[in-house]
């Protein structure tokens, strides 16, 4: 018995979809509506320190439950956004999800969110899924005065890249370096009180401040402009500079040219107490709490000696010299390039280099170790033993009235001659310091060097996205990225691909500079094209026996020449 024939499918008929074993049609997948996806759980909190994003960690069971609660033939929405509520205070906010890798029945929440919701470790929160509309407009209110647009605009753009959602009434903190934070209140949002920021263009507005805050902000801008435009004196090798400095202020100098293959020595001599600070960055000036090299001892002469093999100096194009006034002081600054660097020595220097050393008719005093005439040795020693004191540890000679103020540090080989210098030494060299990134240091110079070089929270301008952002953890860099001088952010940002305009290959952004050098080398090594034999023409020579281009016509030759065609150049032959 034959089966009835199938009817032809007309254009007006609906397409037939195959059936599963449960006799349910397989329809094209669609996104769930905001009301169709429901999921709520009570989870125990553990904080995620040093995470500035708004992305949480959920357990793997949460993903299984979300997939099970989906309506038939629908996919999970993108992005996945959730509402977190503190049941004790009813405070809530919205977040995105980073991954489903948290331990069972727990949730990992960035520390800044737990603080804003007044949540502590091991507290229980309510987590429910929410499908949020895309943001179109956000209005922010500064919580303090003194914000300068040049500072926070680029930082705001960079910070919002790490956020999935925004909630009205939420406080948005923008970290500007290791010791500065801008705080804004999210005052208005459109089209809803909670929005997502993925794949959307957002118009950001800043609410006007009160009159007092506006006046204070204007004063801050004026002071910042003065500091930014403060005169930086150019300094050259072997050219001494004399100046004055006020307590608590900075004076800056800049050196652009020096022989990179020779030693570099910067010497500061001050009447008063002034500290010597150095950096190689054009973007920031050296200060007491952020610099690369420094001499902040209590001695009147400060000196920093740098060898040409110094890593920080090897690729430097500029050297910024800062002088900080611990007290009011006058100073003399000079930069030299000696053949040998000045080493650490005692205050008396080398004993054999003293005047009249080992000369006939001179003998050495047993107290001050200076060389005096033999005929006056007794008179000299009588006076020297009554008035001078020589430290047996460092061999420095001081008047006996200063003997009680002379000190030696028990933790390092440094010494000084006044109680104030001892107090300064202990504060700078032996007072523990903490960086906001969590690192611990035993001295101020080590903290300042960390902030200037390897701190993950150091603000840099990305060479790829051109935004100001934190450089990230440099310890996670690969060898190739490290040799290229990339920061952690630049290594990640430079992983995006782009097409080479020369060869059409797709390369990562961070590889493009090396790739372009290959094209430049090919171009330089390419043989130069031979020009047309017409001296008045600059076109390349064509493939013909006359050596002409494809445009220049041959001119007749009045007398036939053996071996040449009848038509050749008459007067335009090179």
Output DSSP code: residue 134: B
User: Looking at 11-15, 146-150, 182-186, which range is the least confident one?
Assistant: 11-15
Please give the pLDDT value at position 418: 85
Of 345-349, 518-522, 561-565, minimum mean pLDDT range: 345-349
Q: Where in the chain is the domain with CATH 3.10.330.10?
A: 137-208
pLDDT in tens, 270-316: 998 999 999 998 878 899 989 999 999 888 899 999 998 888 887 88
Mean per-residue pLDDT, 380-392? 89
Delimiting residues of CATH 2.40.40.50 domain(s) in the chain? 40-129
Please give the class, per CATH, of domain 231-336: mainly beta
Q: Cα separation of 242 and 252, whole Å?
A: 13
pLDDT of the residue at 94 = 92
Mean pLDDT confidence for 396-424 = 87
pLDDT in tens, 525-542: 888 888 888 888 888 888
Mind giving me the DSSP string for 231-273? --EE--TT--EEEEE-TT-EEEEEE----TTS-EEEEEEEES-
Helix (H) or strand (E) holding 409: none
Segments of the chain assigned to CATH 2.60.120.380: 231-336
Q: What pLDDT sits at residue 33?
A: 56
Structure confidence at residue 184 as a pLDDT band (50, 70, 90) = confident
Residues 6+ apart with CB under 8 A from 526: none
Q: Does domain 40-129 have CATH number 2.40.40.50?
A: yes
Q: Was domain 137-208 assigned CATH 3.30.1280.10?
A: no
Q: What ranges make up the beta strands (E) of 51-136?
A: 55-59, 81-85, 92-102, 106-110, 124-129
Distance CA 501, CA 568 (A): 42
> In 10 A of CB 131, how many CB atoms?
16
DSSP state of 310: -
Whether the CB-CB separation of 169 and 92 falls below 8 Å is answered with no
Residues 6+ apart with CB under 8 A from 302: 267, 268, 269, 270, 274, 275, 276, 295, 296
pLDDT at 153: 65
pLDDT for res 214: 65
Residue 514 phi, psi dihedral angles, 5° rounding: -65, -40
pLDDT value for 185: 85
> Does residue 224 or residue 50 have the better pLDDT?
50
């Amino acid at each position: 018995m034959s089966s009835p024939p199938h009817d032809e499918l007309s254009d007006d008929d609906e397409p037939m979809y195959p059936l599963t074993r449960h006799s349910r049609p397989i329809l094209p997948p669609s996104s769930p509506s905001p009301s169709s996806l429901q999921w709520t759980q009570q989870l125990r909190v553990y904080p995620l320190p040093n995470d500035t994003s708004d992305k949480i960690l959920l357990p793997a069971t949460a993903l299984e439950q979300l997939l099970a609660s989906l309506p038939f033939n629908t996919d999970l929405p993108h992005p996945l956004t959730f509402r977190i509520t503190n049941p004790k205070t009813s405070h809530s906010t919205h977040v995105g999800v980073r991954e489903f890798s948290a331990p069972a029945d727990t949730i990992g929440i960035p520390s800044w969110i737990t603080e804003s919701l007044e949540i502590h470790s091991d507290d229980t929160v309510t987590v429910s899924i929410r499908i949020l509309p895309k943001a179109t407009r956000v209005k922010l209110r500064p919580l303090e005065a003194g914000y300068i647009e040049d500072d926070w605009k680029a930082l705001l753009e960079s910070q919002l890249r790490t956020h999935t959602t925004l909630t009205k009434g939420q406080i948005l903190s923008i970290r500007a370096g290791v010791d500065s934070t801008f705080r804004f209140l999210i005052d208005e949002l459109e089209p809803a009180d909670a929005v997502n920021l993925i794949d959307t263009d957002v118009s950001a507005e800043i609410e006007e401040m009160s009159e007092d805050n506006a006046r204070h902000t204007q004063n801050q801008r004026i002071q910042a402009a003065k500091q930014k435009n403060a005169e930086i004196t150019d300094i050259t090798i072997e050219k001494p500079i004399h100046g004055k400095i006020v307590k608590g202020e900075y004076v800056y100098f800049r050196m652009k040219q020096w022989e990179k293959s020779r030693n570099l020595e910067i010497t500061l001599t001050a009447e008063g107490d002034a500290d010597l600070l150095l950096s190689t960055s054009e973007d920031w000036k050296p200060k007491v709490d952020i610099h690369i090299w420094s001499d902040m001892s209590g001695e009147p002469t400060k000196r920093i000696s740098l060898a040409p093999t110094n890593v920080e100096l090897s690729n430097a194009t500029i050297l910024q010299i800062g002088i900080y006034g611990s007290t009011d002081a006058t100073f003399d600054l000079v930069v030299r390039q000696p053949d040998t660097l000045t080493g650490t020595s005692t205050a008396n220097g080398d004993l054999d280099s003293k005047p009249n050393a080992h000369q006939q008719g001179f003998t050495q005093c047993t107290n001050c170790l200076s060389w005096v005439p033999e005929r006056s040795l007794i008179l000299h020693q009588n006076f020297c033993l009554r008035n001078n004191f020589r430290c047996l540890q460092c061999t420095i000679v001081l008047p006996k009235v200063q003997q009680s103020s002379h000190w030696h540090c028990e933790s390092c080989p440094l010494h000084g001659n006044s109680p104030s210098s001892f107090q300064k030494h202990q504060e700078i060299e032996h007072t523990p310091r903490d960086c906001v990134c969590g690192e611990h240091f035993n001295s101020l110079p080590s903290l300042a060097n960390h902030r200037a070089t390897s701190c993950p929270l150091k603000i840099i301008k990305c060479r790829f996205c051109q935004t100001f952002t934190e450089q990230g953890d440099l310890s996670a860099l690969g060898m190739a990225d490290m040799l290229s001088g990339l920061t952690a952010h630049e290594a990640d940002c430079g992983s995006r691909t782009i097409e080479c305009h020369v060869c059409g290959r797709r390369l990562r952004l961070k590889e493009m500079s090396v790739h372009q050098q290959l094209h430049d080398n090919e171009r330089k090594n390419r043989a130069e094209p031979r020009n047309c034999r017409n001296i008045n023409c600059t076109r390349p020579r064509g493939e013909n026996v006359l050596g002409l281009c494809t445009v220049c016509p041959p001119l007749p030759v009045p007398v036939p020449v053996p071996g040449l065609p009848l038509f050749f150049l008459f007067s335009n032959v090179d």
